[in-house]
Amino acid sequence: MTQTNTPLAELLAYQKQTEALAQVAGRLSWDQETVMPRGAADQRGEEMAAMEAVLHARRTDPRLGEWLDACEGAEVSEADAAKLRHIRRDYDRSRKIPADLAAELARVTSVAQGQWAEARAADDFAAFAPVLSRVIELRQQEGQALAGGGDVYDALLNDYEPGATATQLEAMFAEMRPRLVDLRGKVLEKPQPAGLSGDFPAEAQMAFARKLALAFNYDLTRGRIDKAVHPFSSGSGHDVRITTRTAEDDPFNCFFSTIHEVGHACYEQNIDAGYALTPLGQGVSMGVHESQSRIYENQLGRSRAFTGWIYDQMRADFGDIGVDSAEAFYAAVNRVQKDFIRTEADELQYNLHVMLRFDLERALISGDLKVADLEGAWNERFEADFGYAVPRASLGCLQDVHWSVGLFGYFPTYSLGNVYAGCLAQALRVDVPDLDAELAKGITAPATDWLRENVQRHGGLYEPREVITRACGAAPTAEPLLEYIEAKFSDLYDL
C-alpha cells in the first residue's frame, strides 16, 4: 500500500484528479455525438478547448517532474512502477506540446466533427476540406513537436500504440496483403449466399442489440447503449458507454457494431477495480483494445456456433428473416461481397480497407498528399484495390469520423488489433476446447472470462505486446489471423 505524505502518494493523488477531469472531457465528447443539439457545436468547441487547457496545465505542472524525480530508484510495487512509467511518458509528451496548440486542436477537432457529419450527409467533400486541412496542419505541428526531428507519423502513432512504428506495420501489411487479395479473388468468383429479408424496425433492432450486449456480459448498470452516426465506446471504470446505429434493411450493421463496441466496453469494465482513476485504469493501447472488440465481434460473434444461437433468437423476435437454416444464416453473416464501408466489411476484406487509410494518412501527414487531392487519391486507390469505383464521398473518404477529430496514426491499430485477436483466439481455443458447445447456447462466459483474466484485468499494467505475449505464450505475429481467415472462408466457399 502506498504510504501517505510521500512523493508517490502526492503524485498519485494529483494524477487521480487529472484522470477524473479527463473522464469528464470524454463525457462531453460522448454527449456531442449522441444528444447534443446541432446548434451547440461552436460553443462545445470552446468548452472542449477550455477543458483541454486545464488538462494540459495539469499534465505539464512542474510538480509532476519533482515528484517523478523523487520517486526515481524507489522500491515500489509492480503496479506503482507501471503508474510511474505512464505518468512519466505522458509528462514528457505533454511538455513538448505548447498549451495554445493543445487547446486549438481540441477546439478545431470538436467543430470539425460536426462539419464532417454534415458533409457526409450531403456527400460534399469540398465542404469538409478546409477544416480537414486545418486539423492536419495542427496535427503536423503536434507531431513535429513530439518527434524532435524524428519521424512525425511515428510520433503520432505512438499515442495509440506505444512502441510501434510505421515501418514495422508496413512490413506486417506487406505480409498480409498478398494472401488476403488472393483469397478475396477466389471467393468473389464463387456464388454468394443470400442475405436477409424481412421487417427490421429500428426500435426492434435496438432491443435485440441490448440482448446481444447482455449475452456478452456487458454490465448495463455501469453502461448504456445509444445511437450515433459512427458507433463508438467511451469511458472507463464504472461509466462505460457504447453507441450503435440502425439501418432497417441491414440489421447486421446494428448487431455486429454492438458486439464490437461491447468488446471495447467490457475491456474497460473488467480492468482491476483498484486501478480506477489511475494511469492503469484504461486499455493499454488501441491495438490491444481493438483485439477485444474484434475477437468479440468475429471469432466469437460470427462463429458458426454463436450465429446458430442468433438465428434462433432473430426468428423468435422478427419472424421470417429470409433464410431457412442456421447454416444459411452463418453464410449470410459472413458473406463476402462488393461494398465500400470499412465498418461493414467482412473479415476477409476489412484489413484491406485499413491498409488503404494507413497509406493515405501517412501521405497526408508527410505532405506528399494534399487535402485537395484526397478524394481523387482515395477513389483511385479504392478502385485499384477492390476493382470497382466509389460512387459518392459518403461511401469513400467521408465515411469515417477519425480524420475529422485528428486521429492520425489510429487506423493501423485496427489491423494490429486483428492480428492480436488472431493470436488470442488461437490460445483461447487451446485452453477452452469445448467453447463451441457453450457458444451454441448463447453462453459466452468461457471466452469472456478467459479474456478478462488474461488480458482485460491488467489494464495498463504491461506494455501492449507484453499483454498479448503473456496471454498467448508467444510474441504476436500475423500468421494465426491469416490461417484463421483462410480456413474459415475456404470452408464457407468450398475452396
| Positive or negative torsion for Cα 256, 246, 328, 388 | negative
Report the alpha-carbon distance of residue 294 to residue 317 in Å, rounded: 26
User: Is pLDDT above 80 for 82?
Assistant: yes
User: Is pLDDT above 90 for 393?
Assistant: yes
| 3 pLDDT tier (thresholds 50, 70, 90) | low
The pLDDT of residue 64 is 97
| 265 pLDDT tier (thresholds 50, 70, 90) | very high
Taking only the tens place, the pLDDT of each residue in 290-314 is 999 999 999 999 999 999 999 999 9
- Cell matching residue 472: 498467448
The DSSP 8-state label assigned to residue 368 in this structure reads: S
The pLDDT of residue 66 is 97
Residue 264 annotated in ligand binding: yes
Where in the chain do CATH 1.10.1370.30 domains reside?
166-492
- Percentage of residues of the chain with pLDDT beyond 90: 94
- Paired strand residues for 243: 226
| 230 pLDDT tier (thresholds 50, 70, 90) | confident
Mean pLDDT across 110-132: 95
Residue 458 annotated in ligand binding: no
| 107 pLDDT tier (thresholds 50, 70, 90) | very high
**310-318 contacts: CB < 8 A, separation 24 or more?**
310/212, 310/255, 313/208, 313/211, 313/442, 314/208, 314/251, 317/204, 317/207, 317/208, 318/198, 318/199, 318/200, 318/204, 318/208, 318/251
Rg of the Cα atoms in the chain: 22
The pLDDT of residue 4 is 65
User: Is pLDDT above 90 for 482?
Assistant: yes
The pLDDT of residue 254 is 95
Reply yes or no on whether 261 is catalytic: yes
Residue 86 annotated in ligand binding: no
Give the burial class of 198: count Cβ atoms within 10 A of its Cβ; 0-12 exposed, 13-18 middle, 19 or more buried: middle
Mean pLDDT across 73-83: 95
The pLDDT of residue 387 is 86
Taking only the tens place, the pLDDT of each residue in 404-417 is 999 999 999 999 99
CB 306 within 8 A of CB 314: no
Taking only the tens place, the pLDDT of each residue in 340-370 is 999 889 999 999 999 999 999 999 999 999 9
The shares of helix, strand and coil residues in the chain, as percent rounded to the nearest 5, are 70, 5, 30
The pLDDT of residue 2 is 54
Report the alpha-carbon distance of residue 91 to residue 378 in Å, rounded: 37
User: Is pLDDT above 90 for 5?
Assistant: no
CB 379 within 8 A of CB 390: yes
Taking only the tens place, the pLDDT of each residue in 323-332 is 999 999 999 9
- Active-site residue (options: 19, 142, 161, 261): 261
The fold of the 166-492 domain, in CATH, is: Neurolysin; domain 3 (1.10.1370)
> Higher pLDDT residue, 5 or 354?
354
> Higher pLDDT residue, 4 or 241?
241
CB 394 within 8 A of CB 123: yes
Taking only the tens place, the pLDDT of each residue in 21-33 is 999 999 999 999 8
Taking only the tens place, the pLDDT of each residue in 56-66 is 999 999 999 99
What's the mean pLDDT when you consider all of the chain?
95
